[in-house]
């Protein structure tokens, strides 16, 4: 089988710099990125469970967009631009970073607001049955109660797509909320019972609120939701989110998520103690968050749970504030496109619509928290978005975009945003790590795979061979598939062999017990024609031969079962346990 040809690849995410990336977010910039009416409540609640306010703020924004229902939209009056108020988010933190207590805090408010709505549904149904003199306990009474139209807000995280469809179909507004303690449950549920990628395609449509038609086992005919309103939010760790971002081919699903890398807090026990005079504040803040969700829901729904159309208008000073940041993002996207790197700007482009949607959600929160807001929230259906809501929304989006740019660690994108948006890298790498990627401005002429090759040679300059497991253990070269791609690139004769520095074979290399792809460097005799060719190719990478291989190396390499022309196909020998499966 022919070797796979490289498609340019994706640089490895900067998991090793997660602390510096997360510390972009602070309490101060949280306060300027959220409506004042809710920021204080979130900060106090977060402090009590020893997490950053961003750990609560991110899912709160998504839940707020759920509450506003499927018929809420933001409209820019000066152009043909409408955006559904819908947001999917995932908060990223290492193990022990407080994800569970943050999830529990948000889930408690979601559950309370769901119970409050369903208590009202139950009371209305009981009153109706009493008026019609339907005896309690009869079959007719029980049937009426079952069909009362209770709202299912929070959906079980282990839901399959068939069950999810049935839940959305049964809710009057075809909406549902997936608030996940482990956000990767959503991705792992995609297409887990079938071949193909139908669920991923469906997820892309659901993110936009599109219609959903599905054939089920129990129904002969197709059933349809003419529109949907699914909101997904949750928490996960850096490694799983990196795997999703690095997946090839990129179908655009990850571009549609708002991703936040949480700063982690480790306060002493004394800081967690709550003074006696503040004990009631805990309950008050919990109730306040529940009340906000409840009132947002009532703003966009009739008494029977039917979604009501609500429009948020963007014009005047608010439109000018939006235009300023919109155009800066467009400048970045144009620069990427001019360098034939337009596909790397997907998540930046999607952020413009997210900024609009979140501005609408912020204005809704400010509206229902206004002391002059009437208790009857069904009186209006058109509202103007203020300049403050737009400024806070862009502040929120730009901070999280900056984090993601540095996490994805693409040198082309990083260079452009540093010039256009003045986003400087939050971490300084050690000398060796920095020199391979950015010795000078000319280094950006190298492709992504060439830069990874420079780093690989630098890390293994004392070795004649490099096993895939060895590269994987460095945690610098991305997934196993990306390491395979790098090995293929370095052993390929494409482009006249301009990037061929050896060959790839299958072998057992100590201390690994299983056969795996191993890259064999070409080490010609000094002064030979092959040596001159290798040196010329290394010079194009900014390297000398000693950077490629140290002839004075005393490293002893033990290889067995060498098979020529290693194929880069995934198999159980290759993919499982390379880092730990040692003799």
Query: What average pLDDT does this structure show over 108-117?
Result: 93
Per-residue pLDDT, 385: 96
Are 559 and 464 in a shared domain? yes
Q: Is 91 inside any structural domain?
A: yes
Listed residues 389, 420, 451: the one ending a domain: 420
Are 362 and 475 in a shared domain? no
Are 489 and 400 in a shared domain? no
Contact at 8 Å (CB) between 178 and 233?
yes
Are 451 and 566 in a shared domain? yes
Are 390 and 460 in a shared domain? no
Are 411 and 451 in a shared domain? no
Are 143 and 63 in a shared domain? yes
DSSP states of 351-397: HHHHHHHHHHHHHHHHHHHSTTS-S-TTS--EEEPPHHHHHHHHHHH
Query: pLDDT tens digits for 188-197?
Result: 877 555 555 6
Q: Is 170 inside any structural domain?
A: yes
Q: Is 374 inside any structural domain?
A: yes
| All residues at 6 or more sequence positions from 280 whose CB lies less than 8 Å from its CB, including other chains | none
**For residue 432, how many C-alpha atoms fall within 13 Å in the half-sphere facing its CB?**
9
Helices 316-338 and 387-408 pack at an angle, to 10 degrees, of 20
- List the one residue out of 570, 550, 384, 369 whose CA is nearest residue 468: 570
Number of domains the chain contains: 2
Are 338 and 208 in a shared domain? yes
- pLDDT-based confidence at residue 249 (cuts at 50, 70, 90): low
The fraction of the chain above a pLDDT of 70, given in percent, is: 87
Contact at 8 Å (CB) between 12 and 486?
no
Range of the domain at 522: 438-575
Q: Is 9 inside any structural domain?
A: no
505: its two tokens: 């074979």
Per-residue pLDDT, 196: 53
Indicate the pairing of strand 89-92 with strand 258-261: parallel
- Match 């900014």 to its residue by tokens: 542
**For residue 104, how many C-alpha atoms fall within 13 Å in the half-sphere facing its CB?**
8
Are 409 and 537 in a shared domain? no
The CATH number of residue 206's host domain is 3.40.50
Rounded distance between C-alpha atoms, residue 2 and residue 320, angstroms: 55
Q: Is 70 inside any structural domain?
A: yes
Query: What average pLDDT does this structure show over 71-95?
Result: 94
Are 324 and 350 in a shared domain? yes
Listed residues 356, 388, 420: the one ending a domain: 420
- For the ranges 331-340, 414-423, 545-554, the lowest mean pLDDT is seen at 545-554
Strand partners, 261: 92
Are 311 and 255 in a shared domain? yes
Q: Is 272 inside any structural domain?
A: no
Residue 216 has pLDDT above 70, yes or no: no
**Chain centroid offset of residue 315 CA:** 30
Query: What average pLDDT does this structure show over 22-40?
Result: 94
- pLDDT-based confidence at residue 186 (cuts at 50, 70, 90): confident
Q: Is 580 inside any structural domain?
A: no
Residue 542's CB is within 10 A of a number of other CB atoms, namely 18
Q: Is 515 inside any structural domain?
A: yes
- Match 């609408």 to its residue by tokens: 360
- List the one residue out of 253, 243, 187 whose CA is nearest residue 480: 243
Are 407 and 450 in a shared domain? no
Strand partners, 81: 76
């Amino acid at each position: 089988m022919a070797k796979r040809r490289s498609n340019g690849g994706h640089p490895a995410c900067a998991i090793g710099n997660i602390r510096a990336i997360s510390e972009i977010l602070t309490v101060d910039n949280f306060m300027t990125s959220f409506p004042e009416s809710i920021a204080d409540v979130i900060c106090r609640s977060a402090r009590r469970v020893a997490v950053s306010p961003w750990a609560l703020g991110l899912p709160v924004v998504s839940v707020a967009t759920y509450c506003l229902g499927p018929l809420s939209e933001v409209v820019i009056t000066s152009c043909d631009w409408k955006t559904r108020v819908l947001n999917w988010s995932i908060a990223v933190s290492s193990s022990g970073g407080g994800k569970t207590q943050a999830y529990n805090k948000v889930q408690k408010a979601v559950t309370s607001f769901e119970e409050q709505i369903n208590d009202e549904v139950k009371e209305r149904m009981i009153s109706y049955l009493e008026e019609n003199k339907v005896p309690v306990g009869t079959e007719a009474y029980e049937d009426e109660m079952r069909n009362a139209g209770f709202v299912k807000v929070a959906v079980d995280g282990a839901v399959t797509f068939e069950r999810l469809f049935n839940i959305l179909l049964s809710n009057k507004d075809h909406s549902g909320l997936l608030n996940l303690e482990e956000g990767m449950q959503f991705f792992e549920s995609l297409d887990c019972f079938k071949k193909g990628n139908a669920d991923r395609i469906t997820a892309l449509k659901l993110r936009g609120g599109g219609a959903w038609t599905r054939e089920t086992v129990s129904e002969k005919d197709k059933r349809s939701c003419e529109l949907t309103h699914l909101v997904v939010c949750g928490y996960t760790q850096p490694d799983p989110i990196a795997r999703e971002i690095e997946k090839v081919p990129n179908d655009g699903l990850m571009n549609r998520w708002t991703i936040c890398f949480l700063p982690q807090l480790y306060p002493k026990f004394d800081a967690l103690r709550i003074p006696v005079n503040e004990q009631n504040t805990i309950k008050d803040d919990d109730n306040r968050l529940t009340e906000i969700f409840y009132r947002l829901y009532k703003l966009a729904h009739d008494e029977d749970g039917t979604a009501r159309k609500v429009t948020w208008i963007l014009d005047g000073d608010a439109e000018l504030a939006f235009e300023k940041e919109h155009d800066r993002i467009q400048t970045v996207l144009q620069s990427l496109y001019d360098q034939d790197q337009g596909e790397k700007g997907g998540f930046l482009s999607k952020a413009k619509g997210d900024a609009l949607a979140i501005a609408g959600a912020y204005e809704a929160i400010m509206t229902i928290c206004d002391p002059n807001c009437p208790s009857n929230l069904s009186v209006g259906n058109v509202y103007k978005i203020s300049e403050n809501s737009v400024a806070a929304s862009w502040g929120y989006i730009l901070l999280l975009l900056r984090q993601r740019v540095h996490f994805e660690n693409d040198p082309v994108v990083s260079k452009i945003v540093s010039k256009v948006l003045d986003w400087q890298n939050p971490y300084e790498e050690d000398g060796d790590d920095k020199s391979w990627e950015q010795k000078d401005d000319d280094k950006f002429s190298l492709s992504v795979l060439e830069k990874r090759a420079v780093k690989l040679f630098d890390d293994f300059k004392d070795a004649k061979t490099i096993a895939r497991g060895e590269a994987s253990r460095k945690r610098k070269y991305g997934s196993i598939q990306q390491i395979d791609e790098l090995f293929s690139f370095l052993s390929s004769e494409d482009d006249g062999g301009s990037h061929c520095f050896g060959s790839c074979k299958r072998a057992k290399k100590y201390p690994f017990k299983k056969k795996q792809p191993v890259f064999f460097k070409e080490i010609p005799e000094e002064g030979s024609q092959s040596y001159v060719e290798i040196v010329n190719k290394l010079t194009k990478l900014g390297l000398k031969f000693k950077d490629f291989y140290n002839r004075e190396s005393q490293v002893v390499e033990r290889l067995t079962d060498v098979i020529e022309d290693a194929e880069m196909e995934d198999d159980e020998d290759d993919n499982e346990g390379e880092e730990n499966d040692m003799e």
